[in-house]
Structure 1
Amino acid sequence: MFIDNREVPSAGFCEHLEALSDDTGLLQHARFHLPNRDHGYCTDDNSRAAIVLLRLSHLRKLARSERAMLRNCLAFLDHALEETTGRFRNFMAYDRAWCDTTWFADPHGRAVWALGETIAHASGDAERYWAQNLLERVVQELANETAPRLWAFSLFGLEAALVVQPDWQAGLAARQALQMRLRQRWADAATKEWPWFEDTLAYDNARLCEAALLAGGDLAAAGLTALGALWDWQQEDGVFMPVGHDSFGRERSLPKRWDQQPLEAAAMLDACIRAHSVTGDDKWVHRARASLDWFHGTNALGLPLADPATGLCHDGLHPDRVNANAGAESTVSYMWARISAAYFAKGMAF
């Protein structure tokens, strides 16, 4: 059975997320289980957390403290948008000073994703109008960006927004342009021996497959091929083995096993659920289950990373141990996977 009672988010599900948050937003890192203020905040994590809380609000009513976290994450994104460039900054120090030395494409895409989800899922008109306003200020330039993960994240946000406003012309044009770019990327990179969108594996890999599957048509077929290859590269005897951090940047090479990151498991779960919705093939349900079980101890070390009661998740697997820290990206990734599983169990789309 795909779902058991661990996938029903409890009243204490956001406990660790709250521990990592303050009135600025979500802090990036933890030292063991305590917030590590040395590294401040980032747009990446506040975007992810906003999406998680918005989706959680459709499973159960958010507590007052959870609603406050969501508002703070959205306010962080509002402040992150740089007026002169129309791009989202990423890194903020604990003293609230922006400290980016270069622009990062992927956080920009994640912020677009969070804005689209806000348009689709926010409980109040004010939040939806705010998100639409910010999205209108960045949507025209999305097709000019060159990072595939920015394309994928932006496509998710555009799709969410277009569900509730299907005649939004700027959104429709941006979606079509980004799908064309992803299609061309597949044509340029994929071969029979290397059925993938890029010359290397990196992080959040399955999001590229998910974006292709969401597009439908020939791009969905490419996404299904790529996801099948990615699954084969990330499993041993049906046990999920996420692409290891040591793999990043190795051209057209099979992934190394270490270190394994929670972000990959959450992305793989979502992509497998999407593949099941496209194909109806139950093998994708089993693969989604394996991705979720990785958090709970069905992994290379046989050790759990996450606490189902509090949402806490450790920062990955090393060859000999679980990482002792439990920061924002890992915790949000676990919460994301749990919420996606609950949506699937209830027949809800995400």
Structure 2
Amino acid sequence: MPKRKIELTHLKRMTDDTGIVEHALGNIPRRGEGYATDDNARALWLTCNWQHRIASDPAMRGEAEELQRLAEIYLSFLCHAQQLDGHFHNNYSYDRSPEAEEPSDDCFGRSLWGCAVASLNLPHPDSRFAAATLFQNGFRAAEMLKHLRGKAYTLAATSLLLSCNNELSHLPRFQNFIREQAPERVEALEAQLLTAYEQNADGDWQWFEPMMTYGNGVLPWALFHSYQVTGNSDALLIAEETLDFLIDKMTGEEGRIRPIGNRTWCTPDHCDHWDQQPLEVMKLALAAGQAYAALSNPEHYLSVIKRCRAWFHGENDLQQPLADFNGGCHDGLEPSGMNRNQGAESTIAYLMTELIYASSREKVLSKA
């Protein structure tokens, strides 16, 4: 089956020889606002996975080579951002100098995930070695994580490397490191997510926290990943329950996806619907994609992925497409209209949703 083409025009517009610029004015990069390691980790993840997916297709050789070039830029950024203690500094000015900040668990977890994906999927062995080295250097700092989303990304990354350990034979030292060090970390992080659920779930509130805020899909997504390693039936059950709960909270009239709004978020008493951000839709598609792979009744989750993709193309509360023909994506929906800016986070969220959708379609056809 021919692979679905990815439109890279805006991603390339936002990327220079340092990394991907964080913000845009319209579709023009706002260089004065600098870079975020968060976005470069996301971009590394996107480009690695899409390059790996199309690499065997001779008709897409040029696109695969361009994705590899971009991935190496983003990996280099992570190399620059990693500190001596293993953490990743997040915010950088346009001259590449670090801005003052407190360490971010979210940035750390996303960066580890990006490195894990790159260590498996980048085509050049020395690039895979670089990604593995960054992961290993950061691994020791994972025990200091305090926040759930950073823990979730780290859990998913470590579980991924364990479940794909045989694919690390080109990095024997790293392969042995994962075999020896990762199982204990996976069990500990999985237990922490399950404990958070037990402490906060109550009656009709099936969630890990007293309030649903941002990037919610990453929490059940991580448990689906850890289940593949631990076989913990509680992890699978809670992943499914919380994902179904999230789907319910993110479904509006006529079955359209309606992201949890970032003004006052969602509590047992009230769920805000504005403003709506593309990241929330991508994270829902991400969790649904993992559920599709893990559960025996996947059709429901395939429908969710389709509706997430449709949200970007106009099946949303404002009935306006956020994605454009250059592969860019507007930064969100507000009651007064669409945010016209096309920043890195939103653009990557859209392109990642397209990747999840394309991958899920291929899985359906392979089962037919």
Question: Which residue in 1 is equivalent to 2:141?
Answer: 141
Question: Which residue in 2 is equivalent to 1:212?
Answer: 223
Answer whether contact 1:143 1:177 (CA < 8 A) is retained.
no
The 5-angstrom pairing of residues 1-350 of structure 1 reads: 8-10=4-6, 13-60=7-54, 61=61, 62-83=63-84, 85-165=85-165, 168-216=179-227, 217-236=233-252, 237-248=254-265, 251-277=267-293, 278-307=295-324, 309-347=325-363
The letter of the residue matching 1:215 is S
Answer whether contact 2:156 2:223 (CA < 8 A) is retained.
no
The letter of the residue matching 1:58 is H
Q: CA–CA distance in 2 between the matches of 1:16 and 1:127? A: 25
Q: CA–CA distance in 2 between the matches of 1:48 and 1:110? A: 7
**Post-superposition offset of 1:232:** 1.2
Q: CA–CA distance in 2 between the matches of 1:113 and 1:342? A: 21
Gaps spanning 5+ residues in structure 1: where?
none
Answer whether contact 1:27 1:37 (CA < 8 A) is retained.
yes
SS in 1 for 2:263: helix
Q: Percent identity?
A: 28
Bigger proportion of residues as helix: 2
Deviations 1:247-306 (A, max 9, x none): 34x654432010100001111112112223313241221122111100000000111000
Deviations 1:55-92 (A, max 9, x none): 11123244544332211100000011111x32110000
Answer whether contact 1:209 1:224 (CA < 8 A) is retained.
yes
Q: Could you tell which deviates more after superposition, 318-327 or 278-287? A: 278-287
Q: CA–CA distance in 2 between the matches of 1:63 and 1:177? A: 37
Answer whether contact 1:244 1:260 (CA < 8 A) is retained.
yes
SS in 2 for 1:339: helix
SS in 1 for 2:53: coil
Answer whether contact 2:23 2:30 (CA < 8 A) is retained.
yes
**Post-superposition offset of 1:318:** 0.7
SS in 2 for 1:347: helix
The letter of the residue matching 1:193 is D
Displacement over 3 Å in runs of 4+:
61-66, 250-254
Q: CA–CA distance in 2 between the matches of 1:319 and 1:343? A: 33
Q: CA–CA distance in 2 between the matches of 1:187 and 1:228? A: 17
Between the two proteins, the alignment pairs up a number of residues equal to 339
The letter of the residue matching 1:310 is N
Q: CA–CA distance in 2 between the matches of 1:100 and 1:290? A: 40
